Every structure is written in structure tokens, then in C-alpha cells.
């Protein structure tokens, strides 16, 4: 075999795994790998900040279904990426981080940028709390095997992030050229639901008087989504989704209640509190989705406390299915728990249900009640969106987006109204997609993640719907989109504040000090985001009147160029029909 450098062999291995893009930044510890990428069909997407690169790789993975690959370098480079990697990890997104490190022969001598305060050459330790596995490659002979393990670990079971840390001198060591010696496992099946358990769950659902299905973001594959819809419709069971589950089923589905929890709806809570059996699929019952686990508001598993004023409501019985065994029973007691691929499990349960009861169940008036409740939510948001007040109300921004965007557009959000308001009251079209940072709720995710999404879906209109805080946190996303020739539309909901936190502080303490952007004289301040976009080579639009947003959106969609739309917005909180203990914490009232 021909001798090549380890960097060249690694690139060949990445090609064999179907890698199309590597996102990252250059540094002295990874330029040997960058040089090997040069003649490769793999495209390197350069970013001006490692967090931007991480979010872009994450967005690409979410939109493509393939693992994202991130390249960082020693010390501050890989540390800058931590927030982006953690965001992917907490949302179960497969991400392979390749990081160059100090030369192996300098370990312990504290060379330039070595992470060494409490242990020598210890940068791998930084990623251990957030990755499924972190490898430090000691011998060049182990690099190919470690890379295969990294890809398999990131994509198997509950997906997540991994780190492969490589001393820079290993990249230039001579090895045999890569010849598919470490192919990824093919045909490895996820654990399915055994027949006895499927039948037991089916019997429990059929015997229930008020069943409910609650699902998270783990049912993205078309077959799983179809199986979920078929099961719910056959049993005529109402459905609720977590924040991450929005878009798994269309908002128009006749049994879909919407989201529970802090930003959930009272109608949804009437069903979650009143259910006698809940089938929970690929969800961890996150705090905001579960009203801080307070049984008075959303879920009543294993607790005799019902809705406020009702001390006689029986507890709901929980059936929980997840690919991760650590999630079963984490937050609520489980009557039936199963570690399985949720798509396979839903299909198996559906087959067991139909074998026992071939004819569909009909619950008189259920679909009409659900449809009326959902229509009220969307109609209220639409009515609020008719306002010609300026600066615009957030509902007006969402309404104009809904009218201007094609049905298959992808909305990539950040935090604040753009995340919570969209999840609550934006009627996502059947072909649309909603991508948001759930587990970490990371400000700055939206702008850069949208770049990765657009790379994965070049035929779609991709909108980064973000606040001015989120846009300010990831300004490098705009030149990245321009450099890659990607027509991302950055819509900045500009209230000149970290609006959600400003509202929280004002409601708790009577003012919002330190949360609003002001100039040296105390006047409201904002960068000119449209001018910034233009300075980067993108189109820039400043919305100066209520009708300007619709015009700017139509023009940006038609032009198919990178665009920044700066939209002045009033600081108006998202309605919060549910409960979140964060308010009690800041008022000084702690749970018993």
C-alpha cells in the first residue's frame, strides 16, 4: 500500500463515511488536516468563531439527518466551541468534534495554548461532561479505529456529541492509505418493543377512559410520524407535544392539542391533568414542558393533587418509551417503561391495538373540541397580528412570516418570542420545519444553525428568526452565509433588549436593570443590523413602517440571496398559561 500522512488517511475515511461538509476554524494544530481536505470533495465551511461553526454543524445535522463534523484547534479554539457542542448534545444531535492538540512530545511542558492548569495536556477533559465519549489519540495507529468508534457512538442509540482529540504531530505521521479497514456497522438495528409489552400497552390504552399521547422530538423519521398518526387516529386519542416535538405532526392534525407547560395552553392542560393513561414517547418531561413538575398545573403522575381546587383527581398512569434507559422514570413514576426505538414501538403498539380491536374508536365530540381550541389559539394570534402599531407587535411579525413564506420553509429560532411564541401560536404548515435549541436554550443558536440548515436543504427557504440579542451573539453567521453563497434570511425581532429576561425581572422586581440595551446617555440603543448585513455583502432591509416587513420578506424570498431584515418590535411577553418555578425562585418563594 501507498504511505500517506495520517491527515490524508483521515480525510479518505471521512469521505468513505459520506461526509460532505466539515465546519470549523483554522489553527496551528489542525492545518495539516485542512491541507489534506483541500483536494478532497469534502467542503470546509470556515467560520469566524468556533461557536458559530458548532451551531452550523448542528443545524446541518438536524436538517440532513447525517452527523455534523466540527474541526477545532487547541485550547481557546475548542473551548470557544463548548456552548455549541453542548447545545447539540443536550438535543441528542450527532456531532463529531475533531480537535487538534499540542504536539505529543510536549505534553506536560506547558507549550503554547496547552490546557494545563490542573493537569498536563488536559483539554479532552473539558468535553467529558457534554459528550457521549471523548477520545485522546495517543498513537497514530489508533486514529482510524477511534474515528470509526466516534461516528458509531455519535449516531447510535440516543445520538449525541463526541470528541476525537489529536496531537498535531500525529497528523503528519506516515500511515498506510485508508482502504475501508474500519467501515461503519451496517444494518445494526435499534432495540424494538417486544410483543408481550406491545400487547400490554395496547390493552392499557384500550381500557383507558381518557388516554393521551405525549411525544417529543425523537419521532422525526417519516415512518415513525406516520405510525404515530395512525395509532392516535385509530384510538381517537388526543395528542400533545413537547417544545422539541412541534412539527412532528402537522399543526392541522385533528387530534393535536399543542404544547403543555409554561407556554402551553389551558385546553391542553385540561387534558394532561385529566388523563387516566398517558403514553409518553421520546420525551424527558423537561421543566418548562412540565410546569416545573408541579401537579397542580400539567401532569399528575403518582400524585393525588389535581387541578387547583380539586383534591380528588386520581393520578395519571404513565407508559414511557425512550431509547435512553436513563430517561425512564427520571421525573415521574412509570407503570410500564420500555427502552426501544420509538418509531418501532409505536408501530408495534398500533399492530397490537388493531389486532385486538380492528374497528376504530370514536370519542364523541373530541375532535370538534380539539379543533375549536386550536382554532381559537391561531385565530387569536392572527387577530393580534392585524395590529398596525409600530414598532410591531410580535404576533404581527409571525403573521407576516406565515403569509410570506412558502409552506416548506424552515424556521430556525433562537430564544424568546421567536422560540416560545412560534411553538405556542405559529401555525406551522404541513410541509414546514421548526428547528430550535431545546435542552440548552442557547442564545445565538439561530443565526449560525440556519447556515448549516441551508447547506443541508439548498432548495428550501430558510429563515433564522432571532432576537437582537441572539443576532448580536452570532454576527459571524452573516459573513459565513455570504461566503458560502447561501440565501439565509435573518429576521431580527429587535426590541433593544434581552426581552424575556427583562420581562421576568420587571415582573419580579419592578424594573429591568441590566437587560435592556442603551447608549451612554441611557437612550434605547441597537446596532443597524441591516447596514451590517450590507457591509457583509448581504441584502439589508430596515422595517420603518408596518407594511414594510411583508414587502421585505417577499423580496428576500424572491431574490434568493443572504438577507438581514431588521424589525423594530415592542417588548411584549409571550403569554404563559402554565407555570414555571423560575418566577417563584426570583420572588424568593421556594418549593417545600
The more confident residue out of 584 and 137 is 137
Using CB atoms within 10 A of its CB, is residue 27 exposed (0-12), middle (13-18) or buried (19+)? Answer: buried
pLDDT of residue 587: 61
pLDDT tens profile 366-417: 999 999 999 998 999 999 999 999 999 999 999 999 999 999 999 999 998 8
Helical (H) or strand (E) element with 95: strand 95-101
pLDDT of residue 86: 98
Report in angstroms the alpha-carbon separations of 454 from 63, 217, 232, 433, 460: 8, 20, 33, 12, 7
Please, are residues 452 and 60 in contact by the beta-carbon 8 Å criterion? yes
In the chain, % of residues over pLDDT 70: 96
Using CB atoms within 10 A of its CB, is residue 168 exposed (0-12), middle (13-18) or buried (19+)? Answer: buried
H helices present in 357-457, as ranges: 366-384, 394-404, 422-425, 445-456
pLDDT of residue 575: 85
Region for 110 from its dihedrals, namely left if φ exceeds 0, alpha if ψ lies in -120 to 50, beta otherwise: left
pLDDT of residue 503: 84
Helices (H) and strands (E) in the chain, counts: 21, 20
pLDDT of residue 309: 45
**Reported confidence tier of residue 312, pLDDT bands at 50, 70, 90:** very low
250 three-class SS: coil
- Is the pLDDT confidence value at 186 over 90? no
Predicted TM-score (pTM) above 0.85? yes
pLDDT of residue 303: 53
Helical (H) or strand (E) element with 5: strand 3-5
Average pLDDT, rounded, for the chain: 93
Average pLDDT over residues 209-224: 94
Report how far residue 163's alpha carbon sits from residue 461's, in angstroms, rounded to the nearest whole number: 32
195 three-class SS: helix
Whole-angstrom Cα Rg for the chain: 25
Helical (H) or strand (E) element with 279: strand 277-281
- Is the pLDDT confidence value at 304 over 50? no
**Reported confidence tier of residue 474, pLDDT bands at 50, 70, 90:** very high
pLDDT tens profile 356-380: 999 999 999 999 999 999 999 899 9
Report how far residue 446's alpha carbon sits from residue 402's, in angstroms, rounded to the nearest whole number: 18
**Reported confidence tier of residue 265, pLDDT bands at 50, 70, 90:** confident
pLDDT tens profile 520-539: 999 999 999 999 999 999 99
pLDDT of residue 215: 98
Amino acid at each position: 500500500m501507498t504511505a500517506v500522512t495520517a491527515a490524508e488517511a483521515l480525510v479518505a475515511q471521512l469521505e468513505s463515511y459520506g461526509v460532505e461538509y466539515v465546519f470549523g476554524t483554522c489553527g496551528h494544530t489542525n492545518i495539516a488536516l485542512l491541507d489534506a481536505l483541500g483536494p478532497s470533495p469534502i467542503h470546509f465551511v470556515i467560520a469566524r468563531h468556533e461557536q458559530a461553526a458548532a451551531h452550523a454543524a448542528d443545524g446541518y445535522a438536524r436538517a440532513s439527518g447525517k452527523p455534523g463534523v466540527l474541526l477545532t484547534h487547541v485550547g481557546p479554539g475548542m473551548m470557544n466551541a463548548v456552548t455549541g457542542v453542548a447545545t447539540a448534545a443536550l438535543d441528542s444531535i450527532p456531532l463529531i468534534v475533531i480537535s487538534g492538540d499540542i504536539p505529543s512530545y510536549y505534553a506536560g511542558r506547558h507549550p503554547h495554548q496547552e490546557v494545563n492548569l490542573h493537569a498536563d495536556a488536559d483539554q479532552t477533559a473539558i468535553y467529558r461532561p457534554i459528550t457521549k465519549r471523548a477520545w485522546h489519540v495517543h498513537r497514530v495507529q489508533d486514529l482510524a479505529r477511534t474515528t470509526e468508534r466516534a461516528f458509531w457512538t455519535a449516531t447510535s442509540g440516543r445520538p449525541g456529541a463526541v470528541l476525537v482529540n489529536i496531537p498535531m504531530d500525529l497528523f503528519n505521521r506516515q500511515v498506510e492509505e485508508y482502504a475501508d479497514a474500519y467501515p461503519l456497522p451496517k444494518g445494526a438495528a435499534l432495540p424494538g418493543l417486544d410483543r408481550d409489552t406491545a400487547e400490554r400497552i395496547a390493552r392499557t390504552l384500550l381500557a383507558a377512559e381518557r388516554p393521551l399521547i405525549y411525544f417529543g422530538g425523537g419521532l422525526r423519521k417519516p415512518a415513525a410520524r406516520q405510525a404515530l398518526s395512525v395509532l392516535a387516529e385509530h384510538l381517537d386519542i388526543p395528542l400533545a407535544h413537547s417544545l422539541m416535538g412541534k412539527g412532528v405532526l402537522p399543526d392541522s392534525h385533528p387530534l393535536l392539542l399543542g404544547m403543555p407547560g409554561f407556554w402551553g395552553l389551558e385546553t391542553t392542560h385540561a387534558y394532561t391533568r385529566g388523563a387516566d393513561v398517558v403514553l409518553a414517547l421520546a420525551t424527558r418531561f423537561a421543566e418548562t414542558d412540565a410546569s416545573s413538575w408541579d401537579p397542580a398545573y400539567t401532569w399528575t403522575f403518582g400524585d393525588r393533587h389535581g387541578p387547583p381546587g380539586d383534591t380528588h383527581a386520581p393520578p395519571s398512569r404513565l407508559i414511557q418509551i425512550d431509547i435512553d434507559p436513563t430517561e425512564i422514570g427520571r421525573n415521574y413514576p412509570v407503570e410500564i417503561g420500555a427502552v426501544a426505538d420509538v418509531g418501532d414501538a409505536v408501530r408495534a403498539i398500533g399492530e397490537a391495538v388493531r389486532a385486538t380491536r380492528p374497528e376504530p374508536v370514536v370519542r364523541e365530540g373530541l375532535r370538534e373540541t380539539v379543533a375549536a381550541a386550536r382554532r381559537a389559539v391561531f385565530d387569536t394570534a392572527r387577530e393580534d397580528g392585524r395590529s398596525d402599531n409600530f414598532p410591531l407587535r410580535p404576533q404581527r411579525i409571525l403573521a407576516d412570516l406565515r403569509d410570506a413564506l412558502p409552506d416548506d420553509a424552515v424556521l430556525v429560532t433562537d430564544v424568546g418570542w421567536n422560540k416560545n411564541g412560534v411553538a405556542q401560536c405559529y401555525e406551522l404548515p404541513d410541509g414546514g420545519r421548526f428547528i430550535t435549541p431545546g435542552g440548552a436554550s442557547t442564545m445565538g443558536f439561530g443565526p449560525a444553525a440556519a447556515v448549516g440548515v441551508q447547506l443541508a436543504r439548498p432548495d428550501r427557504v430558510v429563515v433564522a428568526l432571532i432576537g437582537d440579542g441572539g443576532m448580536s451573539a452570532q454576527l459571524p453567521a452573516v459573513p459565513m452565509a455570504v461566503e458560502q453563497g447561501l440565501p439565509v434570511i435573518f429576521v431580527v425581532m429587535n426590541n433593544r433588549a434581552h426581552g424575556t429576561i427583562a420581562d421576568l425581572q420587571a415582573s419580579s422586581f419592578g424594573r429591568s436593570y441590566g437587560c435592556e440595551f442603551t447608549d451612554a446617555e441611557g437612550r434605547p440603543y441597537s446596532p443597524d443590523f441591516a447596514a451590517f448585513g450590507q457591509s457583509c455583502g448581504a441584502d439589508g432591509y430596515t422595517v420603518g413602517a408596518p407594511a414594510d416587513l411583508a414587502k421585505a420578506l417577499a423580496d428576500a424570498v424572491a431574490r434568493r440571496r443572504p438577507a438581514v431584515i431588521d424589525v423594530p418590535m415592542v417588548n411584549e411577553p409571550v403569554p404563559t398559561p402554565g407555570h414555571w418555578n423560575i418566577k417563584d425562585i426570583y420572588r424568593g418563594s421556594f418549593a417545600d
